[in-house]
Amino acid sequence: MRKGFALTRAAADRGLAIVLFLIVWELLPRLGLVNRAYLSPPTEVAVAVGKLFANGAVWSHAAASLQRSLSGLLLAIAAGTLLGLLIGWFKRLEAIVDPLLQLFRQISAFALFPVFILFLGIGEASKTAIILWASFWPILLNTVSGVKHVDKLLVDSARSMGASRPYIFFRVVLPAAAPSIFTGIRLGGAYCITALVAAEMIGSSAGLGFYILNSQEIFQIPDMYAGIILLAFLGLALNYALALIEARFTRWRKGLSNNA
């Protein structure tokens, strides 16, 4: 009984801020405190979302956005993880490439978008490239940090027992760095959704980013907010999926916490 009450109370606490936010959002335009032409009440936005599902348009836009975001994110995971492991493991390599990486990481993906268009055109390749660039850096930096901050006692213990360098890397360093790597991947997932909007606003005919911009241009404001809400849920779904994958590959941490 107490456990059920505690769960109910926890759920209520977690939803309280959202409920209050929706109430304030509903009241601001209806009371005339904010121009209703610019801020649609959530009830109208909900109707717009329902229409998107009713006419089936949501699936084509969501599928296009999901395909672009996953393409860029998966490439960023492959490149960022591999390069991060090499930089974190080989100190000389870090000394060589770190100045260049520190320079490049200061360049916004949005600033490079014209460059991507020049070299790759306005098709899918340039959109994937901007998502890749935005997602790459948190994955790379967290991977490097995870490898560099592995407990030296673990490495020294394995080395003292005659373990080879490759064995230490794959059986000690890589599992110990996994939590940091997955933190970077989840951050990369958030960055890829942010970059997705900018990528789809140029030369697209489908996608939630395109739908948001197109709705704003034809002044269908409830539809614009509906696209924003759906994009937020897409980001939440992606983050939840990445969290499940992280839990799958770092189950050993649960065992350590239970033993502690």
184 and 220 both lie in a single domain: yes
Higher-confidence position of 25 and 10? 25
64 and 175 both lie in a single domain: yes
Three-state DSSP at 108 gives coil
- The Cα 175–Cα 184 span in angstroms is 15
251 and 128 both lie in a single domain: yes
* Number of C-beta neighbours around residue 152 at 10 A: 9
138 and 173 both lie in a single domain: yes
pTM metric for this prediction = 0.84
Number of domains in the chain: 2
Return the residue matching tokens 């997955």: 182
Mean pLDDT of 139-150: 92
Whose CA is closest to 82, among 147, 131, 130, 128? Answer: 147
* Number of C-beta neighbours around residue 164 at 10 A: 11
Domain hosting 11: range is 1-39
- The Cα 252–Cα 115 span in angstroms is 44
Residue 165: CA count within 13 A, CB half-sphere: 2
Residue-wise pLDDT for 209-246, tens only, equals 888 888 888 888 999 999 999 999 998 999 899 888 88
Residue 230 · residue 49 · CB < 8 Å: yes
Which CATH number does the domain housing residue 217 bear? 1.10.3720.10
pLDDT above 90 coverage of the chain, percent: 28
| Token pair in block for residue 26 | 């509903």
CA 248 to chain centre: 18
56 and 135 both lie in a single domain: yes
128 and 143 both lie in a single domain: yes
Mean pLDDT of 117-126: 86
185 and 225 both lie in a single domain: yes
Residue-wise pLDDT for 77-110, tens only, equals 999 999 999 999 888 888 899 899 889 888 888 8
75 and 21 both lie in a single domain: no
16 and 70 both lie in a single domain: no
Give the pLDDT of residue 170.
85
Task: Give the angle 203-129-205 at the CA atoms, nearest 5°.
Answer: 20
177 and 246 both lie in a single domain: yes
29 and 94 both lie in a single domain: no
Residue-wise pLDDT for 18-63, tens only, equals 889 889 989 999 988 888 888 889 999 999 999 989 988 889 889 9
32 and 115 both lie in a single domain: no
